[in-house]
Structure 1
Amino acid sequence: MPIWLRFLLVLWLAIGSAFAFSRDDASVDAVSAAELPREARQTLSLIKEGGPFPYERDGIVFGNFEKRLPLQQRGYYREYTVKSPWRRDRGPRRIISGERGEFFYTDDHYRTFRRIKE
């Protein structure tokens, strides 16, 4: 095998591995619970108390299809609506909970997440 072909093969494997690693290792910023909007703190309390929840879809499985949260098996994450007073629909704000007790906040309908630190 010519040296240039070996080089291309190694380069292709390295680049492919880098993309696979970055996709699997989703990183998110952090936010303290105290910094969250009042409505998000209320939703977080309801989640910890087990409800009741004001929205029918609260508690459904969050699929993490865009892989913006750390990868887990399907069903690991659940989503909950954070009331947006200026909206008549559910709005863009959510808290996502993980089975191990971790929580993530998004205020832009899943485009970005911040891990909630308590």
Structure 2
Amino acid sequence: MRGIARLLVLAGVLVLVAVLGLVLSNTPGSPVSPDITAGSTAAPAPAVEGTAPAGPDVQNTSGLEAVAASALPPEARSTLALIARGGPYPYARDGAVFSNFERLLPRKPAGYYKEFTVRTPGESDRGARRIVVGGAAEKYYTPDHYESFLHILEGK
């Protein structure tokens, strides 16, 4: 009888863990939340397919350090201008899906992020710098090929 009681307690704990996991995954702001629109204040008309145009009211909910767009290198500001215009982009991979394998950006569904090259003077290839754009218009800058990210504050 003691064996059955232990199994019932174990089953109850497993059910509790499963329910807690479901509750947390549906909490806005959760790193595993499937809700990609929570907290978005972006305008509805996309400049890049699958993304919305950014403005000063796109909120930094990423937990990452922020940087004013005006403080970025001139090449990054040029890339931001290209993104705002919808191109044309100088590199074939610009606008490709960024999969966030490093999991440094907030977790979102596949295809949510797009990446754009930031030209690096003196480099013969694409270099290491990128701007990653999310589907709710948030933008991130990586100077070191996805080893770190800064949330871009546009209009600043």
TM-score bin, normalised by smaller chain: 0.7 to 0.9
What residue number does 2:105 align with?
69
The answer to which structure has the higher helix fraction is 1
Structure 2 regions of 5+ residues with no counterpart? 1-16, 22-29, 33-61
Q: Which residue of 2 aligns with 1:36?
A: 72
Give distance in 2, aligned partners of 1:34 and 1:74: 30
Displacement after TM superposition at 1:28 (Å) = 1.4
- Return the offset for 1:24: 2.7
- Unmatched segments (≥5 aa) in structure 1: 1-12, 18-22
How many residues in Structure 1 have an aligned counterpart in Structure 2?
102
Aligned to 1:24: 31
Letter in 1 for 2:31: D
The answer on whether the counterparts of 1:27 and 1:68 sit within 8 Å (CA) in structure 2 is: no
* 1:103 maps to which of 130, 139, 142: 139
Q: Deviations over 1:17-60 (max 9, x none)?
A: 9xxxxx93863111000000000000001001100000000000
Question: Distance in 2 between the 1:34 and 1:64 partners?
Answer: 25
Question: What letter matches 2:108 in structure 1?
Answer: Q
The TM-score, its normalising length taken from structure 1, stands at 0.79
Moved over 6 A (4+): none
Deviation at 1:70, TM superposition (A): 0.3
Report the counterpart of residue 112 of structure 1 in structure 2. Answer: 148
Kindly indicate which of the two structures has a greater share of residues assigned to strand. 1
The structure with the largest alpha-carbon Rg is 2
Task: State the percentage of identical aligned residues.
Answer: 51
Task: For 2:81 and 2:134, locate their aligned partners in 1 and report how far apart those are by CA, in whole Å.
Answer: 15
1-side partners of 2:118 and 2:75: how far apart?
A: 6
